[in-house]
Amino acid sequence: MTAVSVNPEARTAWPQRLHADMIEDVVGVMRERLNEPWTLDELSRLAHLSPYHFNRTFARITGVPPFKFLAALRMAEAKRLLLTTDLSVTVICLEVGYRSLGTFTTHFSEMVGVPPRGFRRLVELFAGASFEELATLACGLPAEPKALHVPLEIHGAQGWAAGPIFVGAFASPLPRGRPAACRLVDAPGDWSLPISGPGAFRIFAAALEHAVDPLEVLLPPPENMLVAQADVPAVKPDMSPVRLQLRSSRPLDPPIVTAFPYALWRLVDEHEHGDADDRRRRASADNTDGKRREAPLLNVL
């Protein structure tokens, strides 16, 4: 009998593909039933795995644990409902699986970077503005004076029509909350991202096609978006460039719930309160009368 040799890579590829298919099925059920109070046991049974192995397998394949992924799905749907319906925040809270309005508002603010009502108001504030106008404003946001500049090499995808690219650095593997740094560039190429302070970050990039309106910036359609990510173990002077290869969004990519509204939210804050230098000058003038006054907050809307 002739021995048959099996390529070790092929031997491991099959179970990996099987696990990816199972996790993709679980994510599909999550999307369809966001309002259910899922437990780890229930989700693991969908994948026919033990809770321990399901948790590890899900994190290995998607890059984040299952309940962080589920939270991102819920926030992505909450964003959609806020911008495309007249439903109240309370109703939306229940629709996406929360039972407490306070908890929902807190989680939304932490993950998206703005409170729900403020997020809904962004469309009103920027109604009628072209994307090019918003992009020009966003690119003009100043960096911190002592920021370290992380060099970037952003590579496009074949057949993709060049469009604006949002880049953000986050302290967690999920693009959530307000990034440590963000900017908008107009094409692939060599760029830099100014980051204030040391630390390890994951840098995300998301590219939209040209001629999108403000609603699409706040609620980017996955089919019209390219994404990339890379880990930066430490930010330091004279570091090597970080390579970001843009690719089509995939079903197992965690939803990006933060970067786009954050850039616009900073514009809202400057629109309402002036730029950082103006705020410092006003704060100094306010304190000359001997009374302490609070600086304007980003969550005033």
Domain boundaries, the chain: 8-123, 131-265
Q: Which two tokens stand for residue 145?
A: 């004076």
Task: Give which of 246, 89, 240 is closest to 164, Cα–Cα.
Answer: 246
Contact between 236 and 201 (Cβ < 8 Å):
no
Q: Do domains 8-123 and 131-265 have the same CATH topology?
A: no
Architecture of domain 131-265: Sandwich (2.60)
The DSSP-derived string for 41-103 is: HHHHHHTTS-HHHHHHHHHHHHSS-HHHHHHHHHHHHHHHHHHH----HHHHHHHTT-S-HHH
What is the pLDDT tens value at each position of the chain, 301 positions in all?
444 444 444 444 546 778 899 999 999 999 999 999 999 999 999 999 999 999 999 999 998 999 999 999 999 999 999 989 999 999 999 999 999 999 999 999 888 888 899 888 877 776 666 555 665 555 555 556 677 889 999 998 877 766 678 888 888 888 877 788 888 787 889 999 888 777 889 999 888 765 456 667 677 777 778 889 999 988 888 889 999 999 988 889 888 777 454 555 555 555 445 544 444 444 444 444 443 333 232 332 2
Compute the residue count for the chain: 301
**Alpha carbon distance 245, 188 (integer Å):** 9
What CATH number was assigned to the domain covering residues 8-123?
1.10.10.60
Amino acid (1-letter code) at residue 142: P
Of all helices (H) and strands (E), which one includes residue 117? helix 116-125
Q: Which residue has the tokens 């970037």?
A: 152
Contact between 66 and 98 (Cβ < 8 Å):
no
